[in-house]
Structure 1
Amino acid sequence: MNDDELLAAAREACENAYVPYSEYAVGAALLTADGSVYVGCNVETANFSNTLHAEEVAIAEAVKEGHREFERLVVTSGARDGVTPCGMCRQTLAEFCDDDLAVLCDTGDGLREYALGELIPDTITPETLGVEESG
């Protein structure tokens, strides 16, 4: 799947966001190593702490289906403002992805690309905690 198709999938997911409080819709499309695509949108709750973020919804769906290797992530918002994953989402991505995961952010005029390691350097990993990965 190419970047334009991933962007379209992320934008479609964004349209399903439930954002009655912030009115800031976010969508994400995550490409697995085998070419599968998982999408997510943000789902807000009145207390905000239980809000689900688009990137985490996408990665949770993929992990639930047994995926552990990821190639690319596209993130968009209704504002098409180049939004990047928040710190919490970056840490969740770092649990499953290497520093070189391509994170593409929708600017409205195209995609701005980052490596996950640029967005969250020196992250906490299983190795940091002295835990071997169990896969």
Structure 2
Amino acid sequence: MKDRLIAAAFRARRNSYSPYSNLKVGAAVLTSGGKIFSSGNVENCCYALTICAERGALYHAVAAGERRFKVLAVTANTEEFISPCGACRQVIWELAGDIDIMMINRKKQTRTIPVAALYPVPYKRAAKKRLLKHHLKRRRK
């Protein structure tokens, strides 16, 4: 499954639309049911309208009715590992909880880290405490 997830992230990276930064990013998310959804980053000249690959992959999965995720893989056209930006970390936390993030460099070397290590104090309103408990409980399973 790991190889399929990496391959999906690399394919998504090839489809990146990044004429402004030339940073081509691809992401793929694995659902609990074994499905893979992917996306490349899509830039816009009004940079705030850019969609990161990580959010694109999750939104793609959610739009297809998926709600439970195991791991999100992210790769870029760089030698270094790339990790999700702050906005992506918040979206990942809210939609997927403390899942693992597999960062993949251009050489297909991987480093995996849980979202909680990347984003130890997520934004949440008081009403979201129940959601936090749910995600943490799900992580322990």
- Are 2:121 and 1:122 aligned? yes
Q: CA deviation at 1:130?
A: 1.1
Q: Give the secondary structure class of the aligned counterpart of 2:70.
A: strand
Could you list the per-position Cα deviations for residues 8-65 of structure 1 after superposition, in whole angstroms to 9, with x for gaps in the alignment? Answer: 1100100000010000000000001111110011000001010010011111011111
How many residues align? The count is 129
Corresponding letter in the other structure for 1:88: A
**What TM-score, normalized to structure 1?**
0.90
Aligned partner of 1:103 in structure 2 is 101
Q: CA RMSD in A?
A: 1.3
Corresponding letter in the other structure for 2:45: A
Aligned partner of 1:28 in structure 2 is 27
- List alignment gaps of at least 5 residues for structure 2: 132-141
Q: CA deviation at 1:109?
A: 4.7
Q: Give the secondary structure class of the aligned counterpart of 1:19.
A: coil
Aligned partner of 1:38 in structure 2 is 37
- Are 2:95 and 1:58 aligned? no
**What TM-score, normalized to structure 2?**
0.86
Stretch moving more, 76-85 or 24-33: 76-85
Corresponding letter in the other structure for 2:36: V
Q: Give the secondary structure class of the aligned counterpart of 1:93.
A: helix
- List alignment gaps of at least 5 residues for structure 1: none
What percentage of residue pairs aligned between the two structures are identical?
A: 34
Structure 2: how far apart are the matches of 1:96 and 1:13?
A: 20
Structure 1: how far apart are the matches of 2:58 and 2:102?
A: 15
Q: CA deviation at 1:98?
A: 2.4
Following superposition, which runs of at least 4 residues in structure 1 exceed 3 angstroms of deviation? none
Structure 1: how far apart are the matches of 2:126 and 2:43?
A: 31
CA separation of 1:35 and 1:80: change in aligned 2, threshold 3 A:
farther
